[in-house]
């Protein structure tokens, strides 16, 4: 058994879905299924209870999954301890970031950090905020940049704030939105709930969702070609050919897309982490 095997077991156990686990592990579903069968042969125990229609671990499989989490945690801690003892100015920083922040804000900040500290390795994982928050809780990332503070009890700072806009290729009356086609981005639960609450307060009928896409760039191209309007935050300036209108709550305040930096309290006592926390905290766009 190697580190990849333990990672596979833990990921499948946490997600309870082979397809989603394969995506997260950057492999194909058939390849992952084949690897799981090999692991079962190595351990000589069944990982899954095949009598259930949904993916269910056997009792032995659950025990192995808990052990896999411990092995991976202990191994990462050992690596961190070795780096720290050698030189606290060297080592690795592991950052988890929501996808849009990773695309539109983080690169410039990391460029500045790398110029100051080229000896420090920075690894970034992007994804949905809930996935990134889980990585922080498990100690797999040092810093998490997510869409809500999620009632985190340790270090937290708001580092970015953007407004949400209705964006269309032509002027539109906002009262007409329910009957117009919408190009929707697959946001995480927090942003989806935020926008659903705004919609429900403004309209009595659901939006007419014509397409659902996973990236802002794809969404904007659909809007530019007149295929529908979208509700987007202004991470980047909108194209001059588009018509954005800020959306407001019942108190006429803008609906905001906030990004929070979350970390353990002891992170500020590690020089390399303290320095990048300082850079991130000063990187607010507004």
Q: What percent of the chain has pLDDT over 90?
A: 68
**What 8-state DSSP symbol labels residue 165?**
E
Structure tokens at 124: 């970034």
In words, the CATH class of domain 1-86 is mainly alpha
pLDDT of residue 59: 92
State the fold for domain 161-258.
D-Maltodextrin-Binding Protein; domain 2 (3.40.190)
pLDDT single digits (tens) 184-239 = 998 888 899 999 999 999 999 999 999 999 888 999 999 999 999 999 999 888 99
Rounded to whole angstroms, the Cα distance separating 6 from 10 reads 6
What is the domain partition of the chain in residue ranges?
A: 1-86, 161-258
d(CA 268, CA 284): 19
pLDDT at 215: 87
* Rounded Cα gap, residues 86 and 253, in angstroms: 51
Residue 168 in tokens: 């269309």
3-class secondary-structure state, position 169:
coil
Whole-number Å distance between alpha carbons of 106 and 146: 12
For range 48-69, the mean pLDDT: 90
Closest CA to 169 of 82, 210, 228: 228
Count of residues making up the chain: 286
* Helices vs. strands in the chain: H and E counts, helices first: 10, 9
Task: Kindly calculate the radius of gyration of the chain based on its CA atoms and give it in whole angstroms.
Answer: 22
> pTM for the complete prediction?
0.66
Which of the pair, 116 or 160, is modelled with greater confidence? 160
Contact of 174 with 285, CB cutoff 8 Å: no
Write down the pLDDT at residue 283: 46
User: Phi, psi at residue 196, to the nearest 5°?
Assistant: -65, -40
Q: What is the pLDDT of residues 97-150, one digit of tens each?
A: 998 899 999 999 999 999 888 889 999 999 989 999 999 999 999 999 999 898
- Map 56-120 to HEC letters: CECHHHHHHHHHHHHHHHHHHHHHHHHHHHHCCCCEEEEEEEEHHHHHHCHHHHHHHHHHHCCCE
Residues 6+ apart with CB under 8 A from 188: 98, 128, 129, 130, 147
The residue-averaged pLDDT of 47-73 equals: 90
Task: Answer whether 1-86 and 161-258 agree in fold.
Answer: no
Residue 285's pLDDT band (boundaries 50, 70, 90)? very low
Question: Is a pLDDT exceeding 80 seen at residue 22?
Answer: yes
């Amino acid at each position: 058994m190697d580190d990849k095997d333990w990672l596979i077991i833990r990921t499948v156990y946490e997600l309870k879905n082979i397809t989603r686990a394969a995506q997260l592990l950057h492999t194909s579903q058939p390849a992952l299924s084949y690897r799981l069968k090999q692991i079962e042969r190595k351990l000589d125990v069944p990982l899954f209870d095949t009598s259930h229609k949904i993916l269910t671990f056997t009792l032995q499989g659950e025990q192995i999954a808990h052990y896999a989490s411990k092995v991976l945690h202990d191994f990462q801690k050992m690596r961190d301890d070795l780096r720290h003892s050698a030189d606290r100015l060297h080592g690795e920083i592991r950052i988890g970031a929501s996808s849009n922040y990773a695309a539109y804000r983080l690169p410039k900040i990391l460029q500045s950090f790398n110029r100051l500290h080229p000896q420090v390795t920075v690894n970034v994982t992007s994804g949905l905020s809930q996935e990134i928050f889980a990585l922080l809780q498990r100690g797999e990332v040092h810093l998490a940049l997510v869409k809500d503070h999620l009632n985190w009890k340790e270090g937290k700072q708001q580092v970015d704030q953007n407004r949400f806009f209705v964006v269309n290729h032509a002027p539109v009356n906002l009262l007409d939105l329910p009957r117009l086609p919408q190009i929707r981005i697959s946001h995480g639960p927090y942003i989806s709930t935020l926008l659903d609450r705004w919609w429900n307060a403004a309209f009595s009928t659901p939006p007419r969702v014509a397409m659902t896409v996973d990236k802002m760039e794809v969404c904007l191209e659909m809007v530019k070609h007149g295929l529908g309007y979208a509700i987007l935050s202004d991470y980047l300036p909108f194209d001059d050919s588009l018509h954005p209108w800020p959306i407001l709550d019942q108190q006429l305040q803008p609906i905001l897309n906030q990004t929070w930096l979350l970390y353990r309290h002891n992170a500020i006592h590690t020089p390399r982490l303290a320095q990048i926390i300082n850079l991130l905290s000063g990187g607010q766009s507004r």
